[in-house]
Amino acid sequence: MTDTSSTRNRTALVTGASRGLGLALARALAGAGWNLVLTARGARDLERAAAELGATAIPGDVADPAHVRRLAEAAPALDLLVNNASDLGPTPLPRLADLPPEAFGALLATNVTAPLALVQATLPALRSARGAIVNVTSDAATGAYEGWGGYGASKAALEQLSNVLAAEEPDVRVWWVDPGEMNTRMLADAVGAEEAAGAADPAKVAAALHDLVSARPASGRVSLQ
- Residues catalogued as catalytic: 151
The Cα–Cα gap between 195 and 10 comes to 38
CB atoms within 10 A of CB 194: 8
Q: 175 - beta bridge partners?
A: 134, 220
Distance of alpha carbon 122 from alpha carbon 130, whole angstroms: 12
| Distance, CA of 216 to chain centre | 17
8 A C-beta contact, residue 20 and residue 186: yes
Tell me if 165 sits within 8 A of 176, measured CB to CB. Answer: no
How many Cβ atoms from other residues are within 10 Å of residue 41's Cβ?
18
CA distances from 146 to 63, 94, 104, 105, 191 (A): 26, 8, 15, 19, 12
